[in-house]
Amino acid sequence: MPTGNFKSLTLLCGVLALAVLCLCISLAQAVVPSFLDLVWFGGLLILTLAAGRFTVSLVNADGAGQSHKTLAEAFILLAALMYGAPAAMLLAAADSACASRHERNRRVRLFSISAAVVSIYLAVAVARLWMEFLTGQPAVSREQATHLGLLLIPLLALGIVQYALNTLASTVYIAFETGKARFVLSQGSLVWSAMAQLTSAVSAALFYSALHSGQFSYLLVGVFINILVYLLYRFNEQRLEEIKRNQREKLRHVEEIAELHMNTIESLAIAIDAKDQTTHGHVRRTQIYALELGRLLGIGKGELMALRAGALLHDVGKLAVPEYILNKPGKLTAAEFEKMKIHTIVGGDIIKRVSFPYPVEDIVRFHHEKWDGSGYPKGLKAEQIPLVARIISVVDFYDATRCDRPYRVGMKREESLALLQKMAGSSFDPRVVEVFIKHIDFFDQLIAEQDIQEQVASEDNPGLASARPDAGLASDILGSLDGDAGFRSILEAQREVYALHEIAQTIGSSLNLQDTVTLVASKLRAIVPFETCAIYLVDDLSGKARAIHVAGEHAGAFMNRRITIGEGITGWVIANARSMCNTPPELDLVGIPEEIAGQIKGVLVAPLIRENGAFGAITLYASTRASYTTEQVRLLESVSHHASTALNNALTFEKTKERALIDPLTELPNSRSFHHTLEQRIAECQRLRDEPLTVLCIDLDEFKRVNDTHGHGVGDRILHEVAAVIKKQLRQMDLLARYAGDEFVAIMPMASEEVSVMIAERVRAAVESYRFPARTGTTIKIGLSIGLATFPINGETAEQLLNAAVHAMQQDKHNRRLQPAPTTSVVASIEAYR
């Protein structure tokens, strides 16, 4: 007999003992049967055993079979009517033995039989009490045998009680035996069970009435009902089987789609790595490292799935990083590194939209966080960093340092492991690093089996010891190419052709001015040597050329430097729209610190030209050469030609975008900018659980009279001055905009109604006390009508708040006309603004 736990064994013994006790009590109270009764009982036993062969399954909510039911219920109930509890218990035991014949666990079968005996005994007792309540006697008389309504209710109660007790006992036992409740019926199964019990009760009543009344039709109807229910059960089983088959097919389809998605993800990862000039082998090796390291660390299945996808997609955000930064052959500047850091945020946002059911987003967003909290984007520390992100961080760093990249050469295994161990506790999780290093031989064996070895071999390789890469940030010391000067010349020529082609193809891909100038400087380095590159653009307001981007050495000394047009080499080039080189650099270094100016030996300048002349220049400063060749001048002019169009487009876009959002007269945000900002502020207030926000609507009283009397020129000037006065009275966080004509609107975040009223009164007092000059010796006094609306009291949308503020302003204007001297009391003004 199979072993089981103590609870199930105790329950089995208890129910078995109770079954024996019930059987003994029933036999002791039973009347000695006649020969005819034994014959009838034998017939019922044969029918029960025969009907017990026809079983149907009861299923749980997910369609899995959990128990079996037979057609013998009607005969058990009939035996209870005819001979009482002893006969019913024997038949119930026989039926239970038939129903559980497929159960391999003999203890479960024994418990089922014992539970059936106990439950039928108690059910018969309940039915006797019910019958006694209905008729005044515990058994059915011969005269009452044909009364189906009288028989049906006690039989139905008997069947329900027996079924409920038996089911409950089986559930508890199976829960003890397996440690979890297996028998959980769905609603559909409960309906089928109820129908089966009702059918058994009706059939037993019909059979009993047929025996005592001789109505053969009752017998046929009872048999027909049982057969019909059995067939319905079978049809239901077939339907459920079809459902399960469809579910298996759907599951197979889902698995195929999941595999297809993973292949798509891998293809996308290869494309991303190609942009970063890495190989397919990198993502495959990273995936192998991450999965095996995750298993060694004992993470769950969902996290393993996250590692599988995250290893491929952890750098998806690099799609938003310009290639000149990804493949820059040198250390990134602070600005470039800030641009590089956005790939974690962009990648996390991309993956967030995919809604992976496992934490892939955590990997993509946080794999550059560091153990000591100095990483990005959130500055998470130690255990705050998700474990899957810590795993990817280690394996990605290791494989990146082992492979050659455009900006440095790879390391030997021993050097990479030493660097990894050195950074444990500062950049990486010490436990993850320890496990990785401990099993590195196992990992390398897996890599060898996959035939994706692209890492630097673990042998002497000069130049590696000094290389100290940092996972995506180029090192200070780069590996050098071996070979003679001819090979280097060929390489440089190829780089020049590639750089010019790439500039022509990509330099105008962005309308962002800063991205464009950064791209120009980055690509220019590959074809024209320089130590410092400064890109100057003419400022329309000041008329001077300002350095908007500086790359290379001494960037801080040249950044935002201003040069007067016509002065110095750069100023002369812009004024004359012609290139200049090999001129004493001192002419262009006025204002530059002497220690920096003394290092510069050569200068080359090319103009940025558009239809109406030069609007800027590209200036190269050299510390290692005193002159540039004609070929280098030609290359710079070629780059300048392509850059001129891209930079002019970027400048036009910047100005157009600014004009689209700024009112040219008052230099305040216009109505379009106001609506956009208001929508954002309302969304922030909703996220912060209805934090207050006030919209202020301000209208100048009788301003048309100013234009009619003094002219529109004076009116425009006064509007500009009124805007300046109002803005001074608002808080620094408030936004003032010109809405239309002589109407202004303001957004006041975190301003309650009382605070807003005080600010409104302050604005009114400041404007009405100010005397605006119109002409010599003539000043104008301006009156204001003000209305306000507070979120969420007066509205929850931008339109509702603005309409409420306008309505309050119009009401204030009407009140001021009726009463020209408005009160300045804050308390008295609250009602006027509502």
Predicted pLDDT at 834: 46
| Distance (Å, whole) CA 809 – CA 745 | 11
The model's confidence at residue 139, banded by pLDDT at 50, 70 and 90, is: low
Residue 31 has pLDDT above 90, yes or no: no
**Chain segment 729-756, per-residue pLDDT in tens:** 898 888 899 888 889 999 999 888 888 8
Residue 588's Cβ-side half-sphere holds a number of Cα atoms within 13 Å equal to 29
Residue with more model confidence, 637 or 775: 637
Percent of the chain whose pLDDT exceeds 70: 61
Least confident of 641-650, 724-733, 738-747, 758-767: 641-650
| Distance (Å, whole) CA 786 – CA 766 | 13
Give residues with Cβ within 8 angstroms of 582, minimum separation 6.
602, 626, 627, 628
The model's confidence at residue 277, banded by pLDDT at 50, 70 and 90, is: very low
Q: What does each C-alpha distance from 215 to 81, 156, 316, 584 come to in angstroms?
A: 18, 22, 82, 129
Residue 618 has pLDDT above 90, yes or no: yes
Does the pTM of the predicted model rise above 0.85?
no
Least confident of 32-41, 83-92, 550-559: 32-41
Residue 680 has pLDDT above 70, yes or no: yes
Predicted pLDDT at 713: 84
- Cβ pair 428, 394 in contact under 8 A: yes
Residue 135 has pLDDT above 60, yes or no: no
Residue 151 has pLDDT above 70, yes or no: no
Task: Indicate the SS3 state at residue 64.
Answer: coil
Residue ranges, comma separated, of all CATH 3.30.70.270 domains in the chain are: 671-833
Residue 609 has pLDDT above 70, yes or no: yes
The model's confidence at residue 469, banded by pLDDT at 50, 70 and 90, is: very low
The model's confidence at residue 41, banded by pLDDT at 50, 70 and 90, is: low
Q: Which residues pair with 772 in a beta bridge?
A: 780
Section 130-153 average pLDDT: 54
Give residues with Cβ within 8 angstroms of 203, minimum separation 6.
74, 77, 222, 223, 225, 226
Percent of the chain whose pLDDT exceeds 90: 8
**Closest alpha carbon to 787 in 734, 833, 727:** 833
Q: Which residues pair with 549 in a beta bridge?
A: 535
Predicted pLDDT at 701: 87
792 upstream amide cis, omega within 30 of 0: yes
Q: Which residue pairs from 133-139 have beta carbons closer than 8 angstroms and sit at least 24 positions apart in sequence?
A: 139/84
Residue with more model confidence, 818 or 127: 818
How many other C-beta atoms can be found within 10 angstroms of the C-beta atom of residue 695?
A: 30
Least confident of 1-10, 177-186, 780-789: 177-186
Two structure tokens written together for 311 = 């290893």
Mean pLDDT of all residues belonging to the chain = 75
Residue with more model confidence, 198 or 384: 384
Q: Which CATH superfamily is domain 485-658 in?
A: GAF domain (3.30.450.40)
**Chain segment 771-813, per-residue pLDDT in tens:** 888 777 788 888 899 999 999 888 888 889 999 999 999 988 8
Two structure tokens written together for 32 = 């000695």
CATH of 276-450, one of 3.40.1210.10, 3.40.50.300, 1.10.3210.10, 3.90.330.10: 1.10.3210.10
- Cβ pair 784, 763 in contact under 8 A: yes
Section 175-181 average pLDDT: 61
- Cβ pair 326, 276 in contact under 8 A: yes
How many other C-beta atoms can be found within 10 angstroms of the C-beta atom of residue 338?
A: 11
Two structure tokens written together for 588 = 């262009």
- Cβ pair 112, 102 in contact under 8 A: no
Apex CA 798: angle with CA 793 and CA 804, to 5°? 55
| Distance (Å, whole) CA 775 – CA 134 | 111
Segment of 108-112, 145-149, 199-203, 343-347 carrying the highest mean pLDDT: 343-347
Predicted pLDDT at 67: 53
- CATH architecture entry for 671-833: 2-Layer Sandwich (3.30)
Section 693-709 average pLDDT: 88
**Chain segment 286-312, per-residue pLDDT in tens:** 888 888 899 898 888 888 888 888 888
Residue ranges, comma separated, of all CATH 1.10.3210.10 domains in the chain are: 276-450
> What is the separation of C-alpha 158 from the centre of its chain, rounded to a whole number of angstroms?
56
Residue ranges, comma separated, of all CATH 3.30.450.40 domains in the chain are: 485-658
